[in-house]
């Protein structure tokens, strides 16, 4: 069956008409036709380039790549917005994230949203014209972890923008349709590109066993994008009071504007134990019971994880959301053990996207648009990466947008 193609921005209907000698295809309107895939790709290739941001050997390169061909289970997407993540910077500066190494040029990006241009013959959940957020991880669907619903732990997962799987900082990409989530018309592509980091935070909160709750104090370590989303989510949950830490005073100032009433703590050269003592005083009580029952550690830095452990209430939970070094040698094991403090770690997310879309759908529960401090056109993607890496730029969340009008 030929793929369905978006023409001139028109959204197709759900009717089907049979054609002589062929399987049914989606109905053809006066302004829309159905093209075979080679014809579609030829038209696109003759009219548009596919600027793509690649990284290899710690060097960025913006170059045109071939427009990919969707397989029967995939969608061809015009990527409208991609947010830059800290992991993109890791892959640029270090060439790796833990054991995941860049061994050949790889297109970066995984916080993405866009518009469906065509779908493969086996796709039933999407149509051309659908506006979607892209869940970047595609698991194998066959292993025991996938069968248990823990597909985020699948050892064969293909994650966009990491290692040998090209990402979304380009104009055209293909992705498994099953992991493309429709977004409401009221949600902008720029908002939809924030769903991926929100899903990370929501997965972390799901690990807190209900301890992040109304009137219960909570601590967030790190005022980067993930930490700020965690702070906003904690506030939405009713947790109070809230304290956030960082080594950058400007980011703490941003946090106090982003979530009213939050109490900032500037991490300085003190030990983890000394910092935790200061943090606990911000909660206003000396009683152990009223110390933070939940700590969301969003830096992955060893000293910050130790501070989180010391600051947490006995019987509480520390969830390490941030990505740090492969090994940590100075965690306070006995303190964690004697206090029966749960130290947990997360790997991305599972089954969080529909709920995340509900949260951001109309902005009534959570509004994250204020995180975005810089936006760059796709052709300026390298400048966007440099801005994100520049600690003096004042950037929080940097996005790359493509408003090219695609007509076929």
Q: At 78, which CATH number?
A: 3.90.180.10
| Peptide bond just before 241 cis, omega within 30 deg | yes
155 with 239, same domain: the answer is no
Would 165 be classed as within a structural domain?
yes
308 with 367, same domain: the answer is no
Would 58 be classed as within a structural domain?
yes
Q: How confident is the model at residue 35, as a pLDDT?
A: 60
Query: Which residue in this structure is represented by tokens 């241009």?
Result: 117
216 with 253, same domain: the answer is yes
Q: How confident is the model at residue 12, as a pLDDT?
A: 32
Alpha-carbon gap, residue 102 to 178, rounded angstroms: 26
Strand order in the sheet with 51-56: 59-64, 51-56, 106-107
Query: Helix 353-360 and helix 195-206: axis angle, to 10°?
Result: 110
Q: At 289, which CATH number?
A: 3.40.50.720
Would 245 be classed as within a structural domain?
yes
CA angle 395, 401, 403 (to 5 degrees): 150
Alpha-carbon gap, residue 243 to 175, rounded angstroms: 39
Last residue of a domain, one of 345, 372, 388: 345
Number of domains making up the chain: 2
Alpha-carbon gap, residue 265 to 204, rounded angstroms: 22
203 with 181, same domain: the answer is no
Residues β-bridged to residue 297: 221, 320
CA angle 362, 232, 82 (to 5 degrees): 65
Alpha-carbon gap, residue 198 to 276, rounded angstroms: 27
Alpha-carbon gap, residue 82 to 75, rounded angstroms: 17
What the block records as the tokens of 186 is 């009221």
Cβ–Cβ under 8 Å, residues 29 and 9? no
DSSP letter for each residue of 27-53: PP-TT-----HHHHHHHHHHH---EEE
280 with 387, same domain: the answer is no
323 with 262, same domain: the answer is yes
What the block records as the tokens of 332 is 């306070």
Alpha-carbon gap, residue 268 to 258, rounded angstroms: 22
165 with 215, same domain: the answer is no
Alpha-carbon gap, residue 129 to 1, rounded angstroms: 19
264 with 126, same domain: the answer is no
Would 15 be classed as within a structural domain?
no
Give me the domain span that covers residue 372.
37-186+362-401
pLDDT along the chain (408 residues), means of 10: 37 31 32 65 94 96 96 97 95 86 93 96 95 98 97 96 93 98 96 98 95 95 98 96 97 97 92 92 84 96 96 96 85 96 96 96 88 98 97 96 91
Q: How confident is the model at residue 21, as a pLDDT?
A: 36
Would 105 be classed as within a structural domain?
yes
Model confidence, pTM: 0.89
Q: How confident is the model at residue 364, as a pLDDT?
A: 79
Closest CA to 302 of 337, 326, 335, 266: 326
Last residue of a domain, one of 316, 345, 374: 345
Would 17 be classed as within a structural domain?
no
Last residue of a domain, one of 297, 315, 345: 345
Would 27 be classed as within a structural domain?
no
308 with 223, same domain: the answer is yes
Would 264 be classed as within a structural domain?
yes
227 with 297, same domain: the answer is yes
60 with 142, same domain: the answer is yes
DSSP letter for each residue of 323-379: ---S------HHHHHHTT-EEEE--S-SS-HHHHHHHHSSSSS---GGGEEEEEEGG
Alpha-carbon gap, residue 231 to 259, rounded angstroms: 7
Q: How confident is the model at residue 125, as a pLDDT?
A: 95
369 with 290, same domain: the answer is no
Q: β-strands 158-159, 51-56: how paired?
A: unpaired
Q: How confident is the model at residue 8, as a pLDDT?
A: 33
pLDDT digit string, tens, across residues 334-382:
999 999 999 999 999 999 999 999 999 877 789 999 999 999 999 999 9
């Amino acid at each position: 069956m030929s793929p369905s193609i978006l023409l001139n921005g028109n959204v197709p209907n759900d009717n089907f008409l049979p054609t002589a000698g062929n399987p049914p295809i989606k109905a053809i309107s006066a302004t829309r036709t159905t093209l075979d895939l080679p014809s579609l790709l030829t038209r696109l290739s003759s009219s548009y380039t596919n600027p793509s941001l690649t990284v290899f050997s710690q060097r960025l390169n913006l170059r045109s790549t071939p427009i990919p061909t969707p397989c029967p289970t995939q969608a061809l997407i015009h990527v409208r917005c991609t947010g830059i993540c800290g992991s993109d910077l890791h892959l640029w500066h270090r060439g790796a994230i833990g054991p995941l190494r860049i061994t050949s040029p790889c297109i970066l990006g995984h916080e993405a949203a866009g518009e469906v241009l065509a779908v493969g013959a086996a796709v039933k959940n999407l149509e051309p014209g659908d506006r979607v957020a892209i869940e970047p991880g595609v698991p194998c669907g066959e292993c025991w972890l996938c069968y248990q619903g823990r597909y985020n732990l699948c050892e064969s997962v293909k994650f966009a923008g990491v290692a040998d799987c090209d990402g979304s900082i380009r104009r055209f990409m293909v992705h498994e349709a099953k992991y493309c989530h429709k977004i409401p018309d009221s949600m902008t592509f720029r908002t939809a590109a924030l769903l991926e980091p929100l899903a990370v935070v929501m997965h972390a909160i799901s690990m807190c066993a209900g301890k992040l709750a109304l009137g219960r104090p909570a601590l967030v370590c790190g005022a980067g994008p993930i930490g700020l989303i965690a702070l906003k989510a904690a506030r939405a949950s009713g947790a109070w009071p809230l304290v956030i830490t960082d080594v950058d005073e400007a980011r703490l100032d941003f946090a106090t504007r982003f979530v009213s009433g939050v109490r900032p703590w500037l991490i300085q050269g003190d030990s983890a134990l000394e910092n935790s003592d200061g943090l606990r005083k911000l909660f206003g009580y000396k009683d152990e019971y009223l110390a933070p029952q939940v700590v969301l550690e969003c830096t992955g830095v060893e000293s910050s994880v130790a501070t989180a452990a010391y600051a947490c209430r006995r019987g509480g939970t520390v969830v390490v959301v941030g990505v740090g070094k492969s090994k940590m040698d100075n965690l306070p094991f006995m303190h964690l053990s004697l206090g029966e403090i749960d130290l947990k770690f997360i790997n991305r997310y599972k089954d969080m996207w529909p709920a995340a879309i509900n949260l951001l759908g109309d902005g009534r529960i959570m509004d994250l648009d204020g995180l975005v401090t810089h936006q760059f056109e796709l052709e300026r993607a390298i400048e966007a990466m440099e801005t994100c890496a520049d600690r003096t730029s004042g950037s929080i969340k940097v996005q790359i947008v493509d408003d090219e009008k695609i007509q076929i």
